[in-house]
Amino acid sequence: MKLNIKLIFCLITVIGLMTACGEKQEHTEGDVHGHEEEAGHGEHEGEEESVHFSSAQFQAMDMKVDTLSKRNISAVVRANGQLEVPPQNEATVTAIVGANISSIEVIEGEDVRKGQVLAYLTHPDLTRLQGDYLEAYNNLRFLEQDYQRQERLYEEEVGSGKTFQRTQADYRSTGGMVKSYETQLRQLGMDPARIKGGDFYDRVPVVTPIDG
């Protein structure tokens, strides 16, 4: 009876060891297969994707395989858009004083030359500016003669030094005013020499500063 019990115990122990070894082997093989699948998956990810067509699909889409051909391209390309010029080739023409446009001498898109009249302006302020300039110019001529006379009297110690200094100050002040008027007239396209003779401008021209 004792011998049989020992034999049964040994058989149970052997069976348990065999079962444990079998599970360990299966687990090891499963890990190996798992690592191989992961490695294979990583290799597929690094490969470039490609598209395959069957002969029927290739013919259904009317696809052809050919080489690139050389063709002559036209020298003229027609396109829609907006053209812009560099800033140095662009000019904005405006009047430096407020005035009314009496006439426009050009149309949009027309070629113009530097110095060409684009339009004419009229305004009472423009006429007043010409009158103020003529008055200042005539006053300057009178003060110039008076200044020369007072200078001679002062050098001969006949005239008063105070009178000479006052005449000198008035002469220089009026001279600066005349130059200021002349600058404004030239900016408006008017010739001061013409106004000195009493010939006023009825219309002030607006000219283009560049060709375009």
Low-confidence ranges of the chain (pLDDT < 70): 1-48, 158-159
In this prediction, residue 6 carries a pLDDT of 47
In one letter, which amino acid is 40?
Answer: G
Q: How many CB atoms lie within 10 A of CB 9?
A: 10
Distances (CA, A) of 97 to 70, 124, 137, 171, 210: 62, 11, 22, 28, 21
Structure tokens at 148: 């020369």
pLDDT digits (tens, 9 = 90+) for 164-184: 888 888 889 999 999 999 998
In this prediction, residue 155 carries a pLDDT of 76
Q: Which residues contact 131 (CB under 8 A, 6 or more apart)?
A: 200
In this prediction, residue 31 carries a pLDDT of 46
Q: Which of 5, 24, 205 is nearest to 121 (CA)?
A: 205
In this prediction, residue 131 carries a pLDDT of 92
In this prediction, residue 139 carries a pLDDT of 92
In this prediction, residue 181 carries a pLDDT of 92
In this prediction, residue 19 carries a pLDDT of 53
